[in-house]
Every structure is written in C-alpha cells, then in structure tokens.
A and B are shown apart, each in its own frame.
Chain A
C-alpha cells in the first residue's frame, strides 16, 4: 500500500449514529490533515496534526472529533451529525521541512447523513 489511504470510501449514516473515518499514510510524513469538500465551496481545512499533536482546529463543531495516535494514522470520529455535514472528507499528509510541505491527499470518504 502506498501513498495515503482512507476507509471507508463511502459511508451513509443516520443523525444518531456514531462512526469513524480512518486515514493512513505510508509516506513517512509527520503532519496529517482533515479537509471537508462540499459542492461549490473551496476545500475547508478542519484539523492539522504535527507529530501527533493538534496544531489547528478551524472552528469545527464538536460533533467531529479527531484522533491521531501516531504520525501514520488519523481518525475522524463522528456523532450526532447533521444533513449539512454530508460531503467528501479528505485526508492529507506532508513532511514539514520548514521550507515547504507539499500535501498529498487520499481518495476521500463520501459521507451521506440522512
């Protein structure tokens, strides 16, 4: 397995369900990101982790709870979501070298909240 992988690729859940999205990077990077991609809107950065520590929380509602147990894995725990949370959730990783850290993206999880 190479690059950035995400599971599941598709997820349908009710508003009262609890589910988790998983991201794994095989690039040896130290930073990982969650983005939300909604139709007709720019990608929205949700969370940033650097060496397992959260360095950015872009005013994301508490019904989204990230977890980064190590530099290779990133989770997004979901609970009591709203229909407007339906979107493509993208994970990315990068190597923060101090000069540039090009981000590499996974294929995304298409989330539908009923």
Chain B
C-alpha cells in the first residue's frame, strides 16, 4: 500500500514570489505521481503528472514538479505566483499498473497575497 504526506497544511506567499509545495510518498513498488488543484467550490483539476522518463515535469499555469526517487519526493514549484493561484493543492500517488487506485495527501492551502 502507498501513502502520501503533504507536510505543509498552509503556505502563505506574496504575489510574484516563488513557491514550493512539498510532497513525499511511500510505496514498495514503482509509482505514478500527480498534482491536482482545487479552486473554491470546484472539483479537482489535474496540474501535472509523472509517469516515467524525465524527472522534471511541466504542467499548466506555469507549475512544475520534480520526481526524486531516492528521496521519495515530488515537490511542486512555481517561480512567480499570482493571486489567482490561491487554492488547495493535492498530491496523489498510484502504483504503476493500478492507476485506478489513487491515494491522496491531505492537501496544502496556498494563500497568495499582495
């Protein structure tokens, strides 16, 4: 079984500053990794995913994440955030070959202010 840890429940940041949202996972087998964003009163939207290949993955809205197998991490980064990036961000993992079973972290609330 796999698990996901998002250590930061809230991350406050000023507009145009860089941000990193941390995600660590635990699994005994190879995994796929995902980041989803949830804006207020909406469902989850896929930001980016890592399946295989290059460990640096680029997603929508200027976000990127890097898969680090040795540290079992998949941190999400953005070099310059906007007010509109204020949302809840969820990291998720699934075992390769059983991608229908996603395990989610508890989420990180990104609060961008002026």
Listed in ascending order, the chain A residues whose CB lies under 8 Å from chain B are 4, 6, 31, 33, 40-43, 45, 48, 50, 55-56, 90, 92, 94, 96, 98-108, 110
Contact = CB atoms under 8 A, between A and B. Distances in A.
Given A100-B32, A106-B43, A42 B101 contact: no
Given A42-B105, A43-B90, A107 B100 contact: no
B46 interface: yes
Nearest to A58: B101
Given A42-B106, A99-B51, A100-B32, A31 B46 contact: no
Given A100-B51, A102-B49, A45 B101 contact: yes
Contacts of B45: 105
Contact of B100 (A40, A101, A104, A108): A101
B42 interface: yes
Nearest to A9: B41
Main secondary structure on B side of the interface with A: loop
Interface of B: 4, 32, 34, 36, 41-46, 49, 51, 90, 96-97, 99-107
A35 B49 CA distance: 20
A102 B34 contact: yes
A104 B46 contact: yes
Contacts of B105: 42
A96 B100 contact: yes
B97 to A, nearest CB: 8
A65 to B, nearest CB: 21
A102 to B, nearest CB: 6
Nearest to A3: B43
A55 B44 CA distance: 22
A96 B101 CA distance: 11
Contacts of B49: 100, 102
B43 A90 contact: yes
Nearest to A104: B46
Contact of A105 (B44, B101, B106): B44
